[in-house]
Amino acid sequence: MDWLTSSATEQGRAILAGLVSPVDLADGYLDAITRHPDAARIFARTTPDRARNEAVAAHDRAKAGLRRGLLDGVALSWKDNIDSAGVATQGGTRLLEGRVPVADARQLADATLQGLVCLGKTHMTELAFSGLGVNPGTATPPNSLDPALCPGGSSSGAAVSVALGLAAAAVGSDTGGSVRLPAAWNNLVGFKPTHGAVPMEGVLPLCQSFDVTGPIARTVEDCAEIMAVLTGRTAADLRGASIKGLRLLVLGGVPYEDAREGPVQAFEEAVAHLAAAGASITHATPPEAARAMALGTPLYAAEAYGLWRAQIDVAPDLMLPVTLARFRSGEQMTAPEFVERWTDLRRARVTWAQAVAGFDAVLLPTAPLLPPQADRAIADPEFFATENMLSLRNTRIANVLGLPAVSLPTGRPACGLMLMGRAGADRALLRVAAAVEQALAATAT
């Protein structure tokens, strides 16, 4: 069996059964990274000494019957905005070149204590402020399905590292869709928890009001187990999850504006499969989604520029022009407007919760378009701007509404099905996602 392309939880159970050693897994991944022709475009830097030391310790615990959890000894990659002690964490920007933190981010430290093995840091879009995944200033990872296509961002290298068998799973960040979009475009599962669910100390911010980290993996179970490590809680109970009787709302309106045929068709096919498997499907267009998007979207640039203005204004020439323009677009928002928008957005969140209270999850296409050509996105600023804003449009709905969300593969390449849950009910959403995952897998066999 090729353990390197197995799910993280399968690897954890294999370690427990003595079928594979954490040392062999870590060495296997490090060797695969070394041999991969695009490794330098995927990993910003690897941590082989750390990985081997952690793997040896995990091996010894397994031999002594002292494993710390299901994922003890499983090797993950970490996005390059999550601090790692003594190893550069530069956020995909030349503004932070040479930045070396002295301590791990809290979530990486917690994961290490639970026995997870750190393979290294993955490339990302500049300061996590774009969805296409291209970054000519550092590196643009190849899409795992077609190297000529955009990989999705901003957790681009994170997703590609998993899809190409260079890590068992990855941890990325999601401010407007940066976990779910690259997961969808690389046929993976991506989970965005409720804002505030994961400790963010030691994570470079983009918009602290929306920033959250989450897993990119092969299965919903993987995501549930990684979330348990990141949050210090037990994993969501997925046993017996069933699609039958689930009440699912298909969100109309915003997700389909300017949407391309491929993702919409894949989504509709997936919804039809869920209905045939026993889910109760309702179509509706609660107006709060569009209102929240109108209120919340301008807040991103305003907060991001407020957080990074000092560094940007000192050396704007170090930034990619398209990224610089996005940050500076937030300069014009006044403090009263910022407060008013947040006040109205919080009201819209309450109204949304009331409107969808009777449903187990809300469904929509993860992205309204397929990954565009990477070379064109880099060479044509106008094309980049239009495709980038569209790429994150659907995922951002969950962020502005303050909801957990998960993207699942539909079975069609680069087309994801997104489920949004209730704020704070992350574990319940993972259980629903496990049921949907099983139902979709059954239709593919």
Q: Is 227 within 8 Å of 217 (Cβ atoms)?
A: no
Q: Is 172 within 8 Å of 79 (Cβ atoms)?
A: yes
What backbone phi and psi angles, to 5 degrees, belong to 21? -100, 145
Q: Is 152 within 8 Å of 185 (Cβ atoms)?
A: yes
User: In this predicted structure, what is the pLDDT of residue 43?
Assistant: 98
What number of CA atoms fall less than 13 Å from residue 347's CA on the CB side?
9
Q: What DSSP element (H or E) covers 333?
A: none
What number of CA atoms fall less than 13 Å from residue 324's CA on the CB side?
15
Asked, for residue 92, whether it belongs to a domain, the answer is yes
β-bridge partners, 149: 373
Q: Is 150 within 8 Å of 160 (Cβ atoms)?
A: no
In angstroms, rounded to a whole number, what is the distance separating the alpha carbons of residues 153 and 69? 30
Residue 407: strand, helix, or coil? strand
Asked, for residue 42, whether it belongs to a domain, the answer is yes
- Note if 79 is an active site residue: yes
Residue 259 and residue 226 in one domain: no
Which of 204, 231, 258 is where one domain is finished?
231
Residue 207 and residue 356 in one domain: no
Residue 259 and residue 217 in one domain: no
Catalytic one of 21, 77, 79, 192: 79
Residue 277 and residue 130 in one domain: no
Asked, for residue 420, whether it belongs to a domain, the answer is yes
Residue 156 and residue 286 in one domain: no
Residues of the chain with pLDDT under 70: 1, 445
In angstroms, rounded to a whole number, what is the distance separating the alpha carbons of residues 50 and 68? 18
Residue 286 and residue 401 in one domain: yes
Q: What is the CATH number of the domain that holds 79?
A: 3.90.1300.10
Which of 184, 203, 231 is where one domain is finished?
231
Asked, for residue 175, whether it belongs to a domain, the answer is yes
Residues whose CB falls within 8 Å of the CB of residue 206, separated by 6 or more in sequence, listed in order: 127, 128, 129, 173, 175, 300, 304, 307
**Of residues 379, 224, 397, the one with CA closest to residue 295:** 397
User: In this predicted structure, what is the pLDDT of residue 443?
Assistant: 83
Tell me how many domains the chain contains.
2
Asked, for residue 300, whether it belongs to a domain, the answer is no
Residue 175 and residue 269 in one domain: no
- Note if 6 is an active site residue: no
Domain containing 277 equals: 247-290+334-444
pLDDT, tens only, 260-275:
999 999 999 999 999 9
Q: In what order do the strands lie in the sheet with 117-122?
A: 43-46, 117-122, 75-79, 169-174, 212-217, 189-192, 405-409, 416-420, 361-365, 247-251, 280-284
Sign of CA dihedral 324, 327, 333, 336: negative
Asked, for residue 182, whether it belongs to a domain, the answer is yes
Asked, for residue 21, whether it belongs to a domain, the answer is yes
C-alpha triplet 180, 375, 215: angle, nearest 5°:
15
pLDDT, tens only, 305-323:
999 999 999 999 999 999 9
User: In this predicted structure, what is the pLDDT of residue 445?
Assistant: 61
Residue 208 and residue 255 in one domain: no
Asked, for residue 327, whether it belongs to a domain, the answer is no
Q: Is 158 within 8 Å of 122 (Cβ atoms)?
A: yes
Residue 66 and residue 23 in one domain: yes
Catalytic one of 6, 21, 84, 154: 154
Catalytic one of 130, 144, 178, 407: 178
ω into 154 cis (within 30 of 0): yes
Residue 128 and residue 181 in one domain: yes
User: In this predicted structure, what is the pLDDT of residue 169?
Assistant: 99
Residue 166 and residue 275 in one domain: no
Which of 202, 231, 260 is where one domain is finished?
231
Residue 218 and residue 253 in one domain: no
